[in-house]
Amino acid sequence: MATPNPAYEFMKTVCEAIQTIEQEYASYLFAKYIKPTVAPEAIEEHKSKYMNTLFIKNKPMSADSHLQMELDEITRANADYAADPKAFPSKKTDHGYPDEFRCNFIKQDRSYLKRCQSKTVDDEFYCTQHMNTPNKLLREYEKAVNELSSV
């Protein structure tokens, strides 16, 4: 049996003590400043959201979540551009380029697939950077999009 490392045990104890103090202080701040502004029947819900916002660490997003976020952004860009094309002379909206003007090159970013966010060259499917680059991940991306849309 391995002997415990005293430095590790000490740091673990200190971290637990700090976390306890942080949670007590967050509860105090909620009770003093937020609770008086919330309807009595909604206090527990608000406290839960408040504490979760402060103390739950961001969990890594799944590849499906990243893909869904990207597709949502493209949908918003399409809607913004369709509503008023003259408002976007460069074709770029607040959500990026609409689908028809966005490069179709697929790249792998960490563990998920992502479509290039650059503007296409006139009447082409790719931006200047990816014009002569083989798009090896396109089928895999299309498959992931189809699987996501079928759910």
pLDDT of 77: 93
pLDDT of 81: 93
Reduced to 3 states (helix: H, G, I; strand: E, B; else coil), residue 39 is: coil
pLDDT of 40: 87
pTM score above 0.75: no
Q: pLDDT tens across 123-136, in order?
A: 888 999 999 999 99
Contact call for residues 115 and 130 (beta carbons, < 8 A): no
pLDDT of 98: 93
Task: Taking residues 89-95, report their average pLDDT.
Answer: 91
Task: Taking residues 67-79, report their average pLDDT.
Answer: 92
pLDDT of 135: 92
Does the pLDDT value for residue 46 go beyond 70? yes
Domain boundaries defined on the chain: 6-55, 63-150
